[in-house]
Amino acid sequence: MSLTQVAVVQMTSTPDVARNMDSAERLVRRAAAQAAKLVVLPEAFAFLGPDEGQRAVSEPLPDGGSLLARCQGWARELDVELVLGGFWEKSPHDERVYNASVHLGRDGAVRAIYRKIHLFDVELADGTSLRESSKVAPGEQVVVTDAPFGKLGMSICYDVRFPELYRKLVDQGAIAITVPAAFTLHTGKDHWHVLLQARAIESQSYVLAAAQSGRHFGQRVSYGHALIADPWGCVIAQCGGEGEGVAVAAIDTELVERLRTQLPSLKHRRL
């Protein structure tokens, strides 16, 4: 069997960058101690605060600054690959930033950068009002990268509602897909598990969903439940609804191949 241990992180980020980075380091170390070869951090892991603060903490990519350098140090010291779920990237074009997911190799090198394509502009029934596009520029490129187990597709949070993206990731060879998120409590309680399991089933791929949890600032609250789903749609590892944690499971490349052979829905597409 071809098995690779992977981990998704759950944390409660706030406007306090130093605190967030200390929490992220502690959880990455916990995952590495459980033999994870790839660790996924959630969206906005280094800073989750008022929109106007995003530009101040953003860094250019791939060169980065002190935040990226610290993450690269974890990768090298712990001999793990990291997916920095949602990293605030300084845009050279305007005052907006990119919500970027960064894949770091074990040597700390930047392997891939995915910039969130679908931006979360909503007015929810619980009073939550979010206008991501006011401070964040949309990405345009579908990104698949090489991970320890094979091809890894990259996405971020709100992307999970757009299955056409995941079809493109599979078409480019993905057998696992990252969905780092800061899913709101209001939407998460009804949609989080359903959407993630659906993406796993229809893509016949593992889904690695790191998550924010709890209250961040003001009225901003996230649902939690960081999880890993297998290509049959079963949740094989999961954190709770609150607090920090790490969920660890093995990616079995032979299972992906077997399911795609036994139920070849990806080959039966007509549209």
Q: Which residues are catalytic?
A: 43, 116, 157
CA distance 100 to 102: 6
CA distance 251 to 229: 10
Peptide bond into 163 cis (omega under 30): no
The helix (H) or strand (E) run that includes residue 199 is helix 185-203
User: Do 244 and 260 touch, CB atoms closer than 8 A?
Assistant: no
